[in-house]
Amino acid sequence: DAGVIQSPRHEVTEMGQEVTLRCKPISGHDYLFWYRQTMMRGLELLIYFNNNVPIDDSGMPEDRFSAKMPNASFSTLKIQPSEPRDSAVYFCASSLKGAFNQPQHFGDGTRLSIL
Amino acid sequence: GDSVTQMEGPVTLSEEAFLTINCTYTATGYPSLFWYVQYPGEGLQLLLKATKADDKGSNKGFEATYRKETTSFHLEKGSVQVSDSAVYFCALPWGNNRLAFGKGNQVVVIP
C-alpha cells in the first residue's frame, strides 16, 4: 500500500520566495496533519484537517503560512514570503477517520532550506 | 492537558546492550499509547502500540507495557543493533485525533 507521499523531498530557495509543499494522504484517511520539526523546537503541529476542512490552525506560526486541502487526496502548505527561520523539515501525516486512538502515518518529509 | 514526558538527553550504548527509554503520561481516561521511531532522513513510523492497561506492545524486538499504576509506557529492547540508531518518540492521542508527542530521545548504538 502507498504511504503518505510528500513532495518535494528537498527544497532550497532564497528568502522572499514563495514555497509550496505538497502532500497526498493515504487513501481512505480523513484526517491530515502538517508538522514542522526543528532541532530547537522539536515536532510542532501546524494545522490539521478533517474531511478536507481545517479544524485547528492555532499552530501556524504567522500569516505567511497557509494550508489548503481542496480534495481528499491532496493538501498544500504554502509559505509566502519565506524567511530563513522557516528552514525546517515539514511532515505531513494522515489517520483514519473519526477513530480515537488511531495512529498517524507520516510521510518522509520535505527538508526546506531558506537562504 | 494530556501529555507525555520522556527522559532527557540522548542515549549512547554499545551493540548488544540493553536499552530502556522512559515515558510517563498524563491523561484523562485511558487512551492508547504509542512509540514512534524516526530513522535518519525519514518520517516517523509507528513502532508499537498498546490500547489498554497491562497491554504489551511489541515489534522488532522492542517492547513496552502500558502501566496504569505508574502511568508509564517505557520502551525496552534486550539487545540493540547499530540499525536501531534513531530517534524514539512516545505519544498519546488527545482531542480530535491529535497526538501529543514527547520530545524524543536520540539513540546511538556503537559497534
Distance CA B38, CA B54 (A): 26
CA distance A27 to chain B (A): 17
In percent, how much of chain A has pLDDT > 70? 95
User: Would you call A3 helix, strand, or coil by DSSP?
Assistant: coil
**Euclidean distance between CA atoms B44 and A106, whole angstroms:** 6
Asked if the Cβ–Cβ distance from A105 to B46 is below 8 Å, we say yes
In the structure, what pLDDT confidence band is assigned to residue B94 with cuts at 50, 70 and 90? confident
Provide mean pLDDT across the span B47-72: 95
Predicted confidence (pLDDT) per residue in B7-57, tens digit: 888 999 999 999 999 999 998 877 889 999 999 989 999 999 999 899 999
For residue A2, the model assigns a pLDDT of: 83
Contact assignment for A106 to B44 by CB distance below 8 Å = yes
User: What is the overall mean pLDDT for chain B?
Assistant: 92
State the nearest Cα–Cα gap between B79 and chain A, in angstroms: 27
- Contact, A75 vs A68, CB < 8 A? yes
Q: Which residues of A touch B41 (CB under 8 A)?
A: 108
* Percent share of chain B, pLDDT over 90: 78
What integer pLDDT is reported at residue A1 of this predicted model?
64
DSSP character at residue B71: T
Instruction: List CB contacts of A78: < 8 A, sequence separation 6 or more.
Output: A18, A19, A20, A21, A65, A66, A67, A68
Please state, in angstroms and rounded to a whole number, the distance separating the CA atoms of residues A5 and A93.
Answer: 9
Range B49-78 average pLDDT: 95
Question: Is B43 within 8 Å of A50 when comparing Cβ atoms?
Answer: no
Grid cell listed for A81 = 514570503
pLDDT in tens, A13-55: 999 999 999 999 999 999 999 999 998 888 999 999 999 999 9
| pLDDT on residue B30 | 78
Q: Phi, psi at residue B98, to the nearest 5°?
A: -75, 160
